[in-house]
Amino acid sequence: MLGEGGIPVMGAPARFLPRQLPFVESTPETGDVTTFRFSTRQEPFAWRAGQFLEMKFPDLVDPRGPTRLFTISSSPTETGSLTISTKMSGSPFKQRLRTLRAGELVDITAPDGDFVLEPGRPAVMLAGGVGITPFRSMLRYATDARIEKPLILIYSNRTPEDIVFRKELDELVRRNHSIQIIHTITRPAESKEAWKGHVGHVDGELLRTAIRGVRHPLFYLAGPPGLVQADRKVLLQEIHLSEGDLRIDEFEGY
Ligand SMILES: Cc1cc2nc3c(=O)[nH]c(=O)nc-3n(C[C@H](O)[C@H](O)[C@H](O)COP(=O)(O)OP(=O)(O)OC[C@H]3O[C@@H](n4cnc5c(N)ncnc54)[C@H](O)[C@@H]3O)c2cc1C
């Protein structure tokens, strides 16, 4: 089976196939977001950019249980490992993640979800905070696979310091002229950086400007449910889209 750009996705994988992947390393991103890398060298692992996995620590005592869902933040084109990127909290689950040792095996069942690039249609991606994870994967994939269609990311954060993968996103724009990224900052006064870009929440005016000249785009919304629902309302009421034009990935738990 070929994904967009002719890249093989190695057949449709069985839903929620359990594996144990060795933990490799963690990398702090901006703010309280950390990326965790797991090796896929021993256990070939196929997924489509934008899909999520389920991670489980069977012996963990946590009020919300021993499992969490995470979008895979790396691209299938970055072979040999996969990453998840998550906002750290005081939950027992996140404490367990924080104390992983290199080589430790972690239960991962994956992949799942239809929050993936659709062949042909331009994509408009709306992310808030840690909701950037599927779009980091999709934009990296589209760049490596040389997919040429408009890919517009509107990324909302409180301050410029909160922008996750900022350098990488800038680099992807340089590498792939089909990508356009609009950052919008909702609390510029709380930043040390003098912000010259767009300010405020995503609204009809910002969206109309961003999609001018783009034919029949599909809209992808990811992040904390409150933010996703606010964006959805603007798209339905001010841009007059129908639900069929939207793909939604709510990160419940935020
Ligand atoms: C499809 C999907 C993809 C996701 N992708 C990502 C991702 O890429 N990155 C990421 O960081 N997260 C992602 N999430 C969210 C993730 O699964 C976790 O929910 C989130 O990281 C919070 O986990 P936590 O352990 O920090 O907090 P939790 O301990 O899960 O607490 C989260 C919230 O729930 C409340 N809460 C805790 N226990 C209870 C209870 N018993 N009853 C009611 N409320 C309770 C807490 O007060 C807190 O407000 C995704 C979720 C989904 C559904």
For residue 225, the CA-to-ligand 1 centroid distance in Å is 11
Q: Are residues 90 and 197 in the same domain?
A: no
Domain boundary among 111, 145, 161: 111
Residue 21's CB is within 10 A of a number of other CB atoms, namely 23
Q: Are residues 229 and 141 in the same domain?
A: yes
Is residue 142 within 8 Å of 5, Cβ to Cβ? yes
Distance CA 135, CA 155 (A): 10
Residue 4's pLDDT is: 54
In a 3-state reduction of DSSP, which class is residue 218?
Answer: strand
Distance CA 60, CA 133 (A): 25
Domain span at residue 180 reads: 123-250
Inside any domain, residue 116: no
In a 3-state reduction of DSSP, which class is residue 36?
Answer: strand
Q: Are residues 89 and 132 in the same domain?
A: no
Q: In what order do the strands lie in the sheet with 81-87?
A: 67-71, 52-56, 105-112, 17-28, 33-39, 81-87
Distance CA 42, CA 148 (A): 33
Residue 44's pLDDT is: 80
Q: Are residues 106 and 129 in the same domain?
A: no
Inside any domain, residue 11: yes
Domain boundary among 53, 77, 111: 111
Inside any domain, residue 118: no
Residue 9's pLDDT is: 45
Closest among 133, 149, 160, 144 to 31, alpha carbons compared? 160
- Confirm or reject: Cβ of 96 under 6 Å from ligand 1: no
For residue 254, the CA-to-ligand 1 centroid distance in Å is 6
Q: Are residues 136 and 237 in the same domain?
A: yes
Total count of domains within the chain: 2
User: How far does Cα 245 stand from its chain's mean position?
Assistant: 19
Kind of pairing, strands 123-128 and 218-223? parallel
- Residue 82, judged by CB atoms within 10 A of its CB (0-12, 13-18, 19+), counts as buried
- Confirm or reject: Cβ of 91 under 6 Å from ligand 1: yes
Domain boundary among 111, 143, 176: 111
Residue 106's pLDDT is: 97
Q: Are residues 40 and 68 in the same domain?
A: yes
Q: The domain that contains 233 carries what CATH number?
A: 3.40.50.80
Q: Are residues 86 and 177 in the same domain?
A: no
Q: Is the pLDDT of residue 10 over 50?
A: no
Tokens, residue 154? 């509107």
Question: Among positive and negative, which fits the CA dihedral 169, 171, 70, 30?
Answer: negative
**Cα atoms in the Cβ-side hemisphere of radius 13 Å centred on 246:** 19
Over the stretch 41-86, which tens digit does the pLDDT of each residue have? 998 889 999 999 999 999 999 999 999 999 999 999 999 999 999 9
Inside any domain, residue 35: yes
For residue 55, the CA-to-ligand 1 centroid distance in Å is 12
- Confirm or reject: Cβ of 95 under 6 Å from ligand 1: no
For ligand 1, atom 51, the nearest C-alpha belongs to: 251
Inside any domain, residue 22: yes
Tokens, residue 55? 């991670």
Distance CA 76, CA 97 (A): 23
Q: Are residues 95 and 214 in the same domain?
A: no
Over the stretch 96-152, which tens digit does the pLDDT of each residue have? 999 999 999 999 987 899 999 998 899 999 999 999 999 999 999 999 999 999 999
Q: Are residues 107 and 132 in the same domain?
A: no
Inside any domain, residue 84: yes
Q: Are residues 195 and 82 in the same domain?
A: no
Q: Are residues 244 and 160 in the same domain?
A: yes
Inside any domain, residue 232: yes
Q: Are residues 179 and 240 in the same domain?
A: yes
- Cα-atom radius of gyration of the chain, to the nearest Å? 18
Inside any domain, residue 191: yes
For residue 145, the CA-to-ligand 1 centroid distance in Å is 32
Q: The domain that contains 37 carries what CATH number?
A: 2.40.30.10
